[in-house]
A and B are shown apart, each in its own frame.
Chain A
């Protein structure tokens, strides 16, 4: 017999998950099922495996699959090499700018991919800052570095985008390892090299594997970088091909069949990542970082440290700064606010700049709606997961599920729905909000869950025994304690929505205009300065997230 009291209490927390469950079911699972089901329907409309068979027997698709996996592997390896050198320097030596490098290495976590593309073009392009500088220094008549629209460009952009992630994760982990174990190894007679390979590296391996699988996942499902920098069907990956098949060839069956493959790979990678994460959390007791008094020894060490500082700054900061500079300056025009005037409709605009202001207001409104909804749903879901005894694992998995599906595939589902609905513009924007919401929800959940976990159960229990209903206790006691977490989750969701490109492009018709979409069109029509003006706004948003999440990490209660 369950008492009425028990029913009422557990009922409240169960109901808290309801809004999120409805959204996940209707706006993630249903579109996904619609997408995937078209892999099993042939052109005549009857059930068959024809789309899957025709896709997976196509040598062109085989080449794309191979290329997708190989470029992801090379990009991950390249990131790993650059990152491990940095992680070694960061965790072994103390030198100036060390904290700056560590802080900067968190930048790729918050920067949208369309901005990476733009920064890359502006900095490494034929007329980019790097080439111009090299031409001026060495008085060359031709740009010496020609890497845009090539295999190299993809690898380089992926490395730039991802090596700081590995460096950040591995260095942070290494700094918290117990250094006495190395000391013990030395006293037992092992050499430095022997100690590194037999004592240090094995303990770092879980962190390295974990970070690498995450980066491989990012490179595998990379979209904007391939779409722009790959420059056409020669260097196409799965995600771009899904988009091309659905939106350019009108072959949804093929797109759906490819999606099946993509989801299988990303799910495997996420399982690997979760496994290694769990091993990480179990492996060693977290220690306060030792104060490292060690300075770079000798000339080689010092040169290495300086060189590394310069390269890190170049890799991470230079493309971003280039975007800001190029938005107000070019060698032909000098300093100008022309592009901001066009953006604000103060001046007659050329090409796609005319829609820039609409795009900005659209993006702001969409992001506002997404962040509000995501925080409300995510907080409710987090509370419901934490306050139940049964099936919390299943509920958490459901909340995180949309991470296993690339945003292109999420966008594809919405495209299929909207093409059937034939709705107006406001319906299209509603779909954009919902797609962004589905994408942002897991990130909000990841912020809220650990924060909610910190609230002792006794707070709610106290409130109940003092005469408060479960609902009132939740709103008067638990929610106020989550305020700062909710703010940083909202900012996070806001930034995800502002920078979201993949799903938006895949689902959009020409009527949908958001900031990243207009940036993409401006890049496509070679109006880089206009794109930079819009990019600077995105940088500002990312900067707010960067600062807000950085400070939010330090806050805790109880």
Chain B
């Protein structure tokens, strides 16, 4: 039993899609649901908000069973992909909408609207109409409006997908800051793994309507419980395990490691800890990424991505990976 945070078991069947997800997040956490398109991320949010009916299962928030509570009584606010600001209302009226529903006095409403606008860095925007706002400003107003309802849980459905890359980066920091200031339990859907890794306390990876893994960002990155999670989040190299059979252990399946775990050897050999060696890997391309080089190499026909501090001089390099950094997957599982 969870007394705090959100715990849900979601079962819903549609014509061509079945959702069967179970996960929990702790009170005050910022959790990201991530997965390829069509995996059921948005459906999950709509089920939790009460916008879609559950076939079976339960939703518990801060110890209260919300399963049969109608959407407008759940106190779960949601920010939609296209913002969904009411176009016939000013910024202030949009934010005051949930305040009016709670019968706040006009003076209190005005103050609360001003406070919320300050929180989202839009002081003085009260009188603007939604068509006078840029995409980023609309996003902030939508966030302020959602916060105005004093939600127990905040749902964000790909809130940054319609914005350009630079603004996206800035706004996700803003969302993190606002989350830290308000402390509201937040569930955030995105398909951008970089976005998820950078702001989430917890990452929930979904695929085909089920939760593959749920855990801290580092945990999901460094200890993925499946090949799918390993390859979906972050870069990685996958090679058949039988290539590395050295008598003592015969393994089938695949071996997986992150690019940063491969070390480029300047002089051969330099590694003393148990390791795999990929000697004379051909360098196919070399991207300068600012602080480092990202190399696309090919070793015995298999592509391997790795990083290097210097641009390699020759056409081939020698790589080593420590055995403790290797992950083995069989049929996609650990």
Contact = CB atoms under 8 A, between A and B. Distances in A.
B70 to A, nearest CB: 4
A466 to B, nearest CB: 4
A3 B84 contact: no
A1 B49 CA distance: 17
A51 to B, nearest CB: 49
Contacts of A465: 49-51, 71-72, 74, 76-78, 146, 149, 155
B88 A472 contact: no
Interface in B65-79: 67-78
A458 interface: yes
Contacts of A476: 97
Contact of A466 (B67, B68, B146): B146
A464 B51 CA distance: 8
A468 B80 contact: no
B18 interface: no
B101 interface: yes
B88 A480 contact: yes
Given A5-B70, A458-B82, A469-B72, A557 B146 contact: no
A548 to B, nearest CB: 20
Contacts of B146: 465-466
A3 B53 contact: yes
Given A464-B72, A467-B72, A2 B53 contact: yes
A458 B158 CA distance: 14
Contacts of B68: 3-5
B187 to A, nearest CB: 13
Contact of A461 (B74, B78, B97, B98): B78
Contacts of B155: 465
A464 B76 CA distance: 10
Interface in A427-469: 456, 458-459, 461-469
Nearest to A467: B101
Contact of B51 (A461, A467, A468, A477): A461
B166 interface: no
Interface in A523-552: none
Contact of B149 (A6, A466, A473, A480): A466
Contact of A481 (B69, B87, B101, B102): B87
Contacts of B148: 466
A482 to B, nearest CB: 10
A142 interface: no
Contacts of B287: none
A466 B86 contact: no
B84 A458 contact: yes
B67 A3 contact: yes
A96 to B, nearest CB: 37
Interface in B25-68: 46, 49-51, 53-56, 67-68
B145 interface: yes
A249 to B, nearest CB: 57
Contacts of B54: 1, 3
Interface in B192-218: none
B55 A1 contact: yes
A4 B97 CA distance: 25
Q: What interface size band does chain A fall in?
A: 20 to 34
A11 to B, nearest CB: 10
A9 B80 contact: no
A4 B71 CA distance: 10
Scoring B56, B74, B142 by chain A CB atoms within 10 A of each residue's CB, the highest score goes to B74
Contact of B71 (A9, A456, A557): A9
B53 A6 contact: yes
A558 interface: yes
Contacts of A284: none
Contacts of A462: 78, 80, 84, 86, 142, 145
B84 A1 contact: no
A33 B173 CA distance: 67
Nearest to B88: A480
A347 interface: no
A43 interface: no
Interface string A368-411: 00000000000000000000000000000000000000000000
B87 A5 contact: no
A381 B45 CA distance: 30
Interface in A286-344: none
Given A3-B67, A3-B68, A8-B70, A467 B98 contact: yes
Interface in A150-187: none
A2 B145 CA distance: 30
A3 B52 CA distance: 10
A178 to B, nearest CB: 31
Contacts of A1: 54-56
B50 A5 contact: yes
Interface in B236-282: none
A461 B72 CA distance: 9
Contacts of A469: 72
Nearest to A10: B53
A476 to B, nearest CB: 8
Contacts of A458: 80-82, 84
Nearest to B84: A458
Contact of B97 (A8, A9, A463): A463
Nearest to A479: B88
Interface string B73-110: 11111101110101110000000011001100000000
Contacts of B84: 456, 458-459, 461-462
Nearest to B50: A5
A466 B67 CA distance: 18
Scoring A3, A465, A476 by chain B CB atoms within 10 A of each residue's CB, the highest score goes to A465
Scoring B49, B50, B155 by chain A CB atoms within 10 A of each residue's CB, the highest score goes to B50
Nearest to B46: A461
Contacts of A461: 46, 49, 51, 78, 80, 84
Contacts of A480: 88
A472 B102 CA distance: 13
Given A2-B53, A456-B84, A458-B84, A468 B101 contact: yes
Contacts of A9: 70-71
Contacts of B81: 458
Given A4-B70, A5-B50, A467 B88 contact: no
Interface of A: 1-6, 8-9, 456, 458-459, 461-470, 472-473, 476-477, 480-481, 557-558
Given A462-B80, A464-B71, 7 more contacts: A6-B53, A9-B71, A458-B81, A465-B50, A465-B51, A470-B72, A477-B86
17 contacts: A1-B54, A3-B50, A4-B69, A5-B53, A5-B68, A5-B71, A6-B53, A461-B51, A461-B80, A462-B84, A465-B146, A466-B148, A467-B149, A468-B97, A470-B72, A476-B97, A557-B88
| 4 cross-chain pairs, A with B, having the tightest CB-CB distances, nearest first | A6-B53, A458-B84, A5-B70, A466-B98
